[in-house]
Amino acid sequence: MAAYVFGHTNPDSDSIVGAISLAYLKSQIGEECIPTRQGEISPETQFILNKFGYELPLLKTEYAGEDVYIVDYSDLAQAPKDILEANIKGIVDHHKLGDITTSAPLECWIRPVGSSNTVIKEMYDYYAVDIPKNIAGMMLCAILSDTVIYKSPTCTRNDTKACKELAEIAGIEDVKALGMEMFLVKSAVQGATPRELTTRDYKDFDMGGKKVGVGQLEVVDLSVFDNMKDDLFADLKALKDEGNRHTTMLLLTDIMEEGSQLLVVSDDDSLIERAFDVKLENSQVWLPKVLSRKKQVIPFVEKVFA
């Protein structure tokens, strides 16, 4: 029986490429695997698939009774609803340990690096498996995406080393130019609905029994949102109400200015103000140097909800 390999809900490039790259590696070492995805892909991921001529993984949201590997998360809130009825054979991730547990021993590759694809690159090295040129190019893009072209505080030497080696395999000379090309695609938000934008890179967290959702949009210039703020706020409010959430937030990250505008809709604004030691004005605040939701946002919000 083939195992399925997939990333989190609202899949980002690391989740989609990670499913592909891990499934390929596993298949090469004698374990047939099929990459899948839990949802629609972003324009950035579509750009990566087009650029390297790779097909979109199959959409699959139910896994009861299946063998699975999960990539880029270990939180139930980001998993298929029936994940605990699946046989989880392994986790490859670079986030804090989540609340998924298993009834059988499993393989775990979880490292504090910038991208799941960095961990997967190290797995290829461990098993001495050659990475096909197109998969190497996609893995490179996934790492550049997650590390915001090395600018994120989550970026480690393992990530830059992996990128250098992947670029060589893929025959890419100017890695940063490729990263900018990708982030320009990511910055094209015109024409997208508010819901597409708030949920494009969105994660729910359970914080002290309260549901908190945090989205993030990384762009090269925040002015693209100038005429959209009201619509984004309205949708954050709708998202909050629909999901019985305590708080919904959106990080508008300017990768050139290296900071984020945080939009907040919450039952208790003061909690968020305390988390970042700031005062919200019109339900928003500029957070200088904040690029990483995982490292610079979630831990601080979790602390005040605890």
237 versus 289: smaller Cβ distance to Mg ion: 289
Alpha helices (runs of H) in the chain, residue ranges in sequence order: 13-28, 43-51, 116-127, 133-146, 157-170, 175-187, 194-199, 229-242, 269-276, 293-296, 298-305
Contacts for 40 with CB less than 8 Å, ≥ 6 apart: none
21 versus 271: smaller Cβ distance to Mg ion: 21
The SS3 of residue 203 is: strand
Q: Which of 3, 4, 10, 12 lies at the binding interface for Mg ion (CB under 5 A)? A: 12
For position 44 contacting Mg ion by CB under 5 A, the verdict is no
User: Judged by CB under 5 A, which stretch of 99-107, 138-146, 226-234, 271-279 contacts Mg ion?
Assistant: 138-146
State which residue has the least CB distance to Mg ion: 14
CB of 283 to Mg ion, least distance (A): 23
User: Judged by CB under 5 A, which stretch of 111-119, 190-198, 246-254, 267-275 contacts Mg ion?
Assistant: 111-119
Query: Which of 146, 56, 46, 144 has the alpha carbon at shortest distance from 95?
Result: 146
Q: Which of 66, 146, 159, 254 lies at the binding interface for Mg ion (CB under 5 A)? A: 146
Instruction: Give Cα 210 distance to the centre of its chain.
Output: 22
For position 204 contacting Mg ion by CB under 5 A, the verdict is no
Quote the CA–CA distance of 101 and 88 in Å, as a whole number.
Answer: 9
Quote the CA–CA distance of 9 and 267 in Å, as a whole number.
Answer: 25
CB of 22 to Mg ion, least distance (A): 12
Residues lying near Mg ion in the complex (CB under 5 A)? 12, 14, 72, 116, 146
